[in-house]
Amino acid sequence: MENLTETQQIQYLRIKNALRNARHIGELDEDLLTMAACLAVEVRDLQGLIDEKGYTYEFQNREGGTMTKHRPEHQMLVESRSKYLVVLKELGMTPAARKRIELEVELTDELDELLTFKDA
């Protein structure tokens, strides 16, 4: 966590606490948590830039006319959001991922119960 900026550390702790409260965190999740924190800050910063400057910009073409293009940051934001969503899914932090985890836990519990011999 020492490699993270102060803002990334705040996001890291926010995500880690959410996972701890949901009991979905293990010691092997540190790299994924770090990635999630970095992506959360990246998405927030890119969204802030887009909110401030807009999704497009105008420029003069060779003929002297004005053209409009998407900001490169817009594509970066789209890609960062996608990556962040993948990491959140891997950490079980989306509704669908939580449902999958709940199903896996239920199936494991039922299997354990079936494999446990009980005296009648």
Query: Using one digit for the tens of pLDDT, what is the confidence trace for 37-49?
Result: 899 999 999 999 9
The secondary structure of residue 1, as a DSSP letter, is -
* Residue 36: closest CA among 81, 79, 101: 81
* Residue 24: closest CA among 88, 92, 96, 109: 92
What 3-state class would DSSP assign to 56? strand
Residues 71 and 60 sit within 8 Å (Cβ to Cβ): no
95-115 vs 72-90: helix crossing angle, rounded to 10: 20
pTM of the model: 0.65
* Residue 19: closest CA among 36, 2, 5, 4: 36
Residue stretches of the chain with pLDDT short of 70 = 1-2, 22-28, 101-120
